[in-house]
């Protein structure tokens, strides 16, 4: 018979991992990255500069998405 506390711990770890993944996909930074990419594709450098400023990225930084 499996240890009930070990099963509960595994379920809690899985729930925490799922929540962290959801935050990475839908969080504020993920939205800013999507906006950056959309702005760059649609409107070019001017709006991309606004998105970079919102994400606190300067001209010397590079964004890998």
Domain limits for position 22: 4-54
Q: Is the separation of the CB atoms in 44 and 36 below 8 Å?
A: no
Q: Is residue 63 part of a domain?
A: no
8-33 exposure pattern, b = at least 16 Cβ within 10 A, e = fewer: eeeeeeeeeeeeeeeeeeeeeeeebb
Q: Is residue 9 part of a domain?
A: yes
Q: Is residue 60 part of a domain?
A: no
Q: Is residue 37 part of a domain?
A: yes
Q: Is residue 49 part of a domain?
A: yes
Predicted model pTM: 0.43
- Structural domain count, the chain: 1
Q: Is residue 39 part of a domain?
A: yes
Output the DSSP codes for the chain: ---HHHHHHHHHHHHHHHHHHHHHHHSHHHHHHHHHHHHHHHH-HHHHHHHHHHTT--TT-----
Q: Is residue 64 part of a domain?
A: no
More confident residue, 54 or 42: 54
Convert the pLDDT of each residue in 11-30 to its tens digit. Answer: 999 999 988 888 888 888 88
Q: Is residue 59 part of a domain?
A: no
């Amino acid at each position: 018979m499996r240890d009930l506390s070990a099963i509960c711990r595994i379920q809690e770890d899985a729930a925490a991992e799922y929540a962290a993944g959801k935050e990475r996909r839908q969080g504020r930074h993920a939205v800013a990255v999507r906006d950056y990419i959309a702005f760059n594709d649609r409107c070019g450098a001017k709006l991309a500069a606004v998105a970079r400023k919102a994400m606190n990225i300067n001209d010397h930084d590079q964004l890998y998405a």
